[in-house]
């Protein structure tokens, strides 16, 4: 093809409208979700749960089998949607977002979470927590505690990182959040004496009984601990009897009016999601949301320099990582790459996977530490085994392009798949490019189209453009001009750097009529984005070439990048990719060789590419 574009680098591949990218400079009424305890109604009149306003990670170990089954079905049919109010957390069974979840494994982790107060129950169990409080009564915090044993083997994630009510389908009255992901494994829950320090195995043993004899006791269990202990972190699926949903990752629905800003190519540090896990007034510590005064240390709120410093000094590795990101970004503190790197080292040594990933970024970019891409790769692989999808994607890209490690397309494809299933939208697009080209895996445009859709769902504009191309020409999917145009429009809406192909759709009449004025507008938008962030993709390069040659408004262009692109497109054009022939023609035209450009456009046109035909007929080419 190589129309389809990689968001990484051009350094070894032809991927055209898939862009060639510049080599990185730096790398209805809601259905109940949770079971209603018979006594819950007595409590709801005076009690309420703590509402998660933006993001949160509530436990769902209190749900009964029927409710859990409803959620599992909802997550198989699309991206699940919930309603969250002070009355509790509710699944909207007849509402969804068009998308899917993948599974990414982690090194098996076991933990006992103890809920000691009514406030902790309401903050961590917003589904049936009120019913549990009604059953336990006043014993919680006095003589009783709620013990939860968790064995985690992986996560289910969707590429949707944000969504709005415009994205909802079905009966969605009361929708407030969508389920971004879920922790997978096994759990057991019971009430026990407050001072008791039970092990995971002991709680699983107690949870085996369906109900306890005392009215104040309760038990719930799903999954087998022995099955979970056989899990492998690089597996594509959890073991049988170890696939239970334990904790949800919720994200509030937004207004849908945001647009990505173009940004320079290369990996950047990211903040830990646990800093946003709890309702207002609570902090995350020991696997639960609790009041700050109840925790020895906790994950600080990102941006709170003082608390992050205090908690890091107390040994909370999540807070060390958060503080490191703040120093790296200059967030409420003077930017200091060296200090950031020191904090990432401390976090990583303490077992914080996000800290290991951020340390890998620092080593890759030479930020606060000497450049060491081989060491960065080792750390990225380490974080990947802990379920860090972006780390998997980083390691994959290094294998893909031989960047700090020997090129290995098979391992690149394997790690891209892990990253994509873990919700990393960019990796879905990269893997789609490999599937389209048959690199590291069997050539399959049907699979490529599915991967591009996942990337596009998550807001990866380059994935939308790549999907639009396959739909336009009917590769791997049914040919549909109207749908292709809509996908190109979405790519442009997501990111102005991807407006090139929306402009081409107007030039060729893919939108229903030819509109050169609109085409010119979209090309200028893409070229302007290039000037703002540097030309990081062949699409931006082509847009500036079109503005220069067809519109007569000369634009600065990276000639080295242009020459690289010409070599790549020459090879792909000769191998039969007619869209790349058209791109080659634009590049040659920008270099001043009009006769060769005209000939190249004619080759593209004869090969069936409508854009090649449109370019061959343009007055500035004839």
Residue 36 has pLDDT above 80, yes or no: no
Calpha distance 2→573 (Å, rounded): 9
Residue 445 has pLDDT above 90, yes or no: yes
Average of per-residue pLDDT across 256-264 = 54
pLDDT, residue 4, reads: 57
Element (H, E) at 349: helix 337-349
Contact 308, 322 (CB under 8 A): yes
**pLDDT of 386-423, one tens digit each?**
999 999 999 999 999 999 999 999 999 999 999 999 99
Structure tokens given for 603: 């080759």
Q: Give pTM, 2 decimals.
A: 0.86
**pLDDT of 232-243, one tens digit each?**
999 999 999 999
Mean residue pLDDT of the chain comes to 87
Structure tokens given for 612: 């090649």
pLDDT, residue 5, reads: 55
Structure tokens given for 44: 């709801």
Nearest to 89 by CA among 213, 296, 248: 248
Range list of H helices, 298-336: 305-313, 317-329
Average of per-residue pLDDT across 326-345 = 97
Contact 357, 390 (CB under 8 A): yes
Calpha distance 545→543 (Å, rounded): 5
Element (H, E) at 529: helix 516-533
pLDDT, residue 7, reads: 52
Q: pLDDT > 90: what percent of the chain?
A: 72
pLDDT, residue 262, reads: 47
Nearest to 497 by CA among 539, 458, 546: 539
Q: What is the 3-state secondary structure (H, E, C) of 275-286?
A: HHCCCCCCEEEC
Average of per-residue pLDDT across 151-164 = 96
Q: How far is CA 608 from each of CA 479, 568, 597, 605, rounded to the nearest angstrom?
A: 14, 20, 17, 5
Contact 184, 422 (CB under 8 A): no
Calpha distance 389→392 (Å, rounded): 5
Q: Residue 588: is it exposed, middle or buried by C-beta count within 10 angstroms (0-12/13-18/19+)?
A: buried
Confidence of residue 212 (pLDDT cuts 50, 70, 90): very low
Contact 89, 406 (CB under 8 A): no
| Strand 88-97 with 144-157, pairing | unpaired
Calpha distance 407→564 (Å, rounded): 20
Element (H, E) at 290: strand 288-290
Contact 341, 368 (CB under 8 A): yes
Contact 447, 437 (CB under 8 A): no
What are the residues facing 501 on neighbouring strands? none
Average of per-residue pLDDT across 423-443 = 94
Residue 102 has pLDDT above 50, yes or no: yes
pLDDT, residue 408, reads: 97
**pLDDT of 291-301, one tens digit each?**
999 999 999 99
Average of per-residue pLDDT across 427-444 = 94
Inter-helix orientation angle 594-606/610-617, to 10°? 140
pLDDT, residue 197, reads: 84
How is the chain split into domains, by residue range?
40-252, 499-622
Calpha distance 432→448 (Å, rounded): 4
**pLDDT of 41-61, one tens digit each?**
333 334 688 888 889 999 999
Structure tokens given for 54: 């933006």
Average of per-residue pLDDT across 498-521 = 96
Nearest to 406 by CA among 392, 395, 422, 419: 395
pLDDT, residue 228, reads: 97
Contact 379, 398 (CB under 8 A): no
pLDDT, residue 215, reads: 36
Residue 493 has pLDDT above 60, yes or no: yes
**pLDDT of 170-206, one tens digit each?**
999 999 999 999 999 999 999 888 878 899 999 998 5
pLDDT, residue 152, reads: 98
Element (H, E) at 213: none
Taking the chain, what is the end-to-end CA distance rounded to the nearest angstrom?
Answer: 26
Average of per-residue pLDDT across 538-549 = 91
Q: pLDDT > 70: what percent of the chain?
A: 87
Q: What is the DSSP letter of 300?
A: P
- C-alpha 90 chain-centroid distance: 24
Nearest to 601 by CA among 578, 618, 587, 585: 585
Average of per-residue pLDDT across 534-559 = 86
């Amino acid at each position: 093809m190589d129309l389809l574009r990689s968001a990484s680098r051009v350094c070894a591949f032809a991927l055209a409208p898939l862009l060639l990218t510049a080599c990185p400079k730096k790398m209805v009424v809601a259905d109940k979700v949770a079971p209603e305890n018979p006594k819950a109604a007595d409590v709801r009149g005076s009690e309420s749960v703590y509402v998660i306003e933006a993001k949160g990670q509530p436990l769902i170990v209190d749900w009964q089998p029927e409710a859990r089954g409803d959620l599992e079905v909802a997550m198989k049919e699309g991206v699940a949607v919930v309603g969250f109010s002070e009355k509790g957390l509710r699944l909207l069974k007849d509402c969804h977002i068009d998308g899917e979840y993948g599974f990414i494994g982690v090194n098996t982790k076991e933990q006992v979470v103890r809920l000691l107060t009514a406030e902790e129950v309401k903050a961590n169990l917003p589904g049936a927590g009120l019913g549990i409080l009604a059953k336990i009564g006043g014993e919680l915090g006095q003589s009783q505690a709620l013990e939860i044993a968790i064995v985690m083997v992986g996560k289910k994630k969707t590429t949707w990182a944000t969504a709005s009510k415009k994205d909802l389908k079905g009966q969605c009255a009361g929708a407030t959040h969508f389920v971004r992901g879920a922790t997978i494994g096994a759990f057991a829950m019971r009430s026990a004496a407050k001072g008791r320090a039970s092990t995971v195995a002991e709680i699983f043993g107690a949870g085996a009984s369906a109900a306890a004899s005392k009215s104040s006791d309760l038990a719930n269990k799903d999954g087998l601990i022995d099955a979970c202990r056989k899990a492998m972190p690089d597996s594509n699926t959890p073991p049988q009897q170890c696939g239970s949903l334990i904790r949800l990752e919720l994200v509030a629905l937004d207004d849908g009016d945001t647009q990505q800003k173009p940004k320079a190519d290369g990996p950047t540090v990211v903040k830990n999601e646990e800093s946003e896990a709890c309702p207002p007034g609570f902090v995350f510590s020991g696997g639960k949301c609790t009041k700050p005064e109840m925790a020895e240390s906790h994950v600080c709120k990102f941006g709170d320099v003082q608390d992050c410093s205090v908690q890091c000094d107390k040994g909370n590795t999540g807070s060390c990582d958060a503080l490191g990101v703040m120093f790296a970004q200059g967030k409420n503190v003077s930017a200091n790459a060296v200090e950031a790197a020191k904090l990432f080292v401390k976090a990583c040594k303490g077992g914080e996977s996000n800290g290991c990933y951020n340390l890998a970024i620092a080593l890759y970019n030479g930020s606060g530490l000497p450049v060491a891409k081989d060491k960065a790769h080792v750390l990225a692989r380490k974080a990947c085994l802990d379920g860090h999808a972006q780390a998997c994607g980083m390691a994959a890209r290094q294998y893909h392009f031989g960047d700090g490690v020997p090129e290995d397309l098979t391992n690149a494809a394997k790690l891209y798949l892990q990253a994509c299933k873990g919700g990393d939208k960019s990796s879905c697009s990269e893997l789609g490019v490999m599937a389209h080209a048959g690199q590291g895996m069997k050539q399959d445009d049907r699979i490529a189209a599915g991967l591009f859709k996942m990337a596009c769902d998550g807001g990866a504009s380059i994935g939308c453009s790549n999907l639009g191309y396959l739909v336009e020409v009917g590769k791997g999917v049914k040919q549909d001009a109207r749908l292709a145009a809509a996908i190109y429009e979405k790519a442009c809406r997501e990111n102005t750097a991807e407006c090139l192909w929306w402009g081409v759709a107007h030039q060729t009449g893919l939108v229903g009529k030819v509109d050169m004025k609109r085409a010119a507008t979209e090309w200028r938008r893409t070229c302007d984005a290039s000037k703002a962030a540097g030309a990081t993709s062949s699409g931006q390069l082509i847009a500036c070439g079109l503005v220069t040659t067809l519109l007569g408004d000369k634009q600065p262009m990276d000639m080295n990048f242009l020459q690289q692109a010409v070599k790549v497109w020459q090879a792909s054009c000769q191998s039969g990719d007619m869209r790349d022939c058209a791109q080659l023609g634009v590049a040659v035209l920008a270099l001043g060789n009009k006769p060769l450009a005209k000939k190249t456009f004619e080759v593209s046109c004869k090969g069936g590419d409508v854009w090649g035909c449109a370019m061959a007929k343009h007055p500035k080419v004839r």
